Amino acid sequence: DIQMTQSPSSLSASVGDRVTITCRASQSITNYLNWYQQKPGKAPKLLIYAASTLQNGVPSRFSGTGSGTDFALIISSLQREDFATYYCQQSYSSPRSFGQGTKLEIK
C-alpha cells in the first residue's frame, strides 16, 4: 500500500500570506495526486487533481506542483475562507490513501 505523508501537520499564517503544504508518497505515483480542503463538520472538497489541474470553480490562488513522489499545494495569498484542513490523496493504486492532513490556522 502507498503511504502519503504531509508536512507540516499544522500551520499558523495570516491573511495575505503565501503558504506551501508538501506531500510525499512512499513510491512513485506519477502525477496521480489530488488535494482536498475540509472545513469543520463538512465533507472534503476537491481543489486540485493530477497534481496541478485546478478543479472547476476553485480560486486561482490555489496551485499544485510536483510529480513522482514529491508534491506541493500552494496558496498564493491566504483569504479568511482558506483556513481549513488540507489533505493530499493518491489515485495511482488501490487502496486509495490520504495524507494525515495539514490544519491551517489563523495567526
Partner 1 sequence: QVQLQESGPGLLKPSQTLSLTCTVSGGSINSDNSFWTWIRQPAGGGLEWLGRIYRSGSALYNSSLESRLAISVDTSANHFSLSLKSVTAADTATYFCARAANKFDYSGRRLGQTFDDWGLGILVTVSP
Positions that interact with partner 1 (CB under 8 A):
1, 31-34, 36, 42-46, 49-50, 53, 55, 87, 89, 91-92, 94-101
Nearer to partner 1, 16 or 41 (CB): 41
46/49 Cα distance (integer angstroms): 8
47/77 Cα distance (integer angstroms): 16
Name the minimum Å distance from CB 63 to partner 1. 16
13/18 Cα distance (integer angstroms): 8
Residues facing 21 on adjacent strands: 73
Name the minimum Å distance from CB 7 to partner 1. 14
Name the minimum Å distance from CB 43 to partner 1. 4
Name the minimum Å distance from CB 61 to partner 1. 20
Residues facing 106 on adjacent strands: 13
Nearer to partner 1, 27 or 77 (CB): 27
Nearer to partner 1, 15 or 50 (CB): 50
Instruction: Classify 80 as helix, strand or coil.
Output: helix
* Cis amide prior to 44 (ω within 30 degrees): no
